[in-house]
Amino acid sequence: MIEVDYLVVGAGAMGMAFTDVILTETDATVALVERRGRPGGHWNDAYPHVRLHQPSAFYGVNSRELGSGKKDAVGFNAGLYELASGTEVVSYFDHVLHQDFLPSGRVQYFPMSEYLGDGSFRSIASGAVTEVSAAKIVDATYMNVTVPSVRPPQYPVAPDVRCVPPNDLSKAGVLPAERYVVVGGGKTAMDACLWMLGQGIDPESISWIRPRDSWCLNRRNIQPGEEFADNSLEGFVSQIEIAAAAESIDDLFTKLEAAGLLLRIDQSVRPTMYRCATVTDSELEALRAITNVVRLGRVERIDAEQIVLADGAVPTGPEVLHIDCTADGLERRPVVPVFSGENITLQTVRTCQQVFSAAFIAHVEASYDDEAEKNQLATVVPHPNTDIDWLRVTLANGINSAIWREDQALGAWLRDARLDAFSELRAMSGGMDADRVALLRRATEAAMPAAVNLQRLIEEAS
């Protein structure tokens, strides 16, 4: 039996970001229980070429920088701030654990331990069960991130068909193949295609099964530092003004694209998916070289000689390497209250900003007493899936920000929060020049019309 203030289940990015703020802002003790052998969650199972999709500057835990704060000089991200590799993310969390958490004397870490759901966990190595007496139980597993390497494809694959997760592409003996079929329309598939193109694989030899096309975020608009501040501010303001003025959903997306806020691979296809995939112009340009795109819905099965999809079939064969990129890294989970008695369930309070959200929830836990107030501050913004979800999450983000703005102390915390991509914009407000003040005024004026218009468009769409 051990006794702690917080039992945190899951040492993935969210569990780590939550624990970090609890250690910084309270005197509480924590038991961190993790099924895997080390912290970092799904990053431990990621494909070797994975990198963050958004700058390292906003990732990890609040109290420790990730990366060197430099811009990339080469590659698809050249000119923009660095994106940590998967290995770097895992080693960063290892440092956080061993250099910050454990030396604090307030964290007990239990790797290789399966939480049993009743305040106890079992060691996977020894089978020993430990009871935990904790004032609060924090579920940092609820978002249920899945990556392709941890499960077989979710469609039947005939025995002799070669179908691998992207992790296997760089394993000995896998490449080359005569032809390639990439399955999936999300960011993992984009990463696999970019990696293959980067290895000199002929784009003509790649078929890309994209059940849905995706709206993507422009990474240029999500950058830290003064150099990008005007660009970020202008992007922020034009998004609000476009949302306020759009006459229809089509009009909205046309204007968001024209303003460089949303991007798509194929300009002749109107995307129906939005899942926060973040890209650069040069990545899109490279991806456009793959012209053999199959839009026949989801794969139902792969037979020896054909791939059967929801709306048709395409030929395949033993010479083809299929790359399964269909795992759901951004599952849409039912929303539950973040704070409920002794339970805290970590979810996103700003779209696709998991680590920021976990840190924010920990700050709310540390600073407020009333459960209703805490839940109001930590209103969940569920993961988006469809294009219409772009409207829903933008509206929900806007409402949360408006509620947070009412609270001066919270505003001060946000200004200092490394994980908050907007913190630098907020911090600027002390010394802003007249142009920036004018831009912010425009944003304030358009905020309410934007909320009303987005609500109207959402209702029309549903």
Ligand X SMILES: Cc1cc2nc3c(=O)[nH]c(=O)nc-3n(C[C@H](O)[C@H](O)[C@H](O)COP(=O)(O)OP(=O)(O)OC[C@H]3O[C@@H](n4cnc5c(N)ncnc54)[C@H](O)[C@@H]3O)c2cc1C
For 232, phi then psi, to 5°, come to -65, -45
Residues 133-172 that bind ligand X (CB under 6 A): 140-141, 143, 145, 147
State which residue, 165 or 271, has the beta carbon closest to ligand X. 165
Separation in Å, CA 127 to CA 110, 115, 116, 130, 161: 13, 12, 12, 10, 39
Strand 299-302 vs strand 306-309: parallel, antiparallel, or unpaired? antiparallel
User: At 91, which helix (H) or strand (E)?
Assistant: helix 86-95
Kindly report the length of the chain.
462
Work out whether 115 is an interface residue with ligand X (CB under 6 A).
Answer: yes
Residues 176-235 that bind ligand X (CB under 6 A): none
Work out whether 8 is an interface residue with ligand X (CB under 6 A).
Answer: no
107 neighbors 19 (Cβ within 8 angstroms): yes
Residue 303 carries which side chain, given as an amino acid letter?
D
Interior angle at CA 227, CA 225 and CA 231, nearest 5: 100
Instruction: Please give the Cα distance from 39 to 93 (Å, whole number).
Output: 6
* Site pattern 18..47 for ligand X (x: CB under 6 A): ---------------xxxx----xx---x-
State which residue, 20 or 34, has the beta carbon closest to ligand X. 34
Work out whether 410 is an interface residue with ligand X (CB under 6 A).
Answer: no
- Total residues contacting ligand X by CB under 6 A comes to 30
For 72, phi then psi, to 5°, come to -75, 140
Number of Cβ atoms within 10 Å of the Cβ of 396: 21
Work out whether 354 is an interface residue with ligand X (CB under 6 A).
Answer: yes
* Site pattern 53..92 for ligand X (x: CB under 6 A): xx----x---------------------------------
Question: C-beta of 83: minimal distance to ligand X in Å?
Answer: 7
* Site pattern 321..350 for ligand X (x: CB under 6 A): --------x---------------------
Work out whether 109 is an interface residue with ligand X (CB under 6 A).
Answer: no
Question: C-beta of 453: minimal distance to ligand X in Å?
Answer: 28
Work out whether 353 is an interface residue with ligand X (CB under 6 A).
Answer: yes
Question: C-beta of 193: minimal distance to ligand X in Å?
Answer: 14
Question: Among candidates 120, 116, 143, which has minimal Cα distance to 336?
Answer: 143
User: 3-class DSSP state for residue 256?
Assistant: helix
Q: List residues binding ligand X (CB under 6 A).
A: 9-15, 33-36, 41-42, 46, 50, 52-54, 59, 114-115, 140-141, 143, 145, 147, 329, 353-355
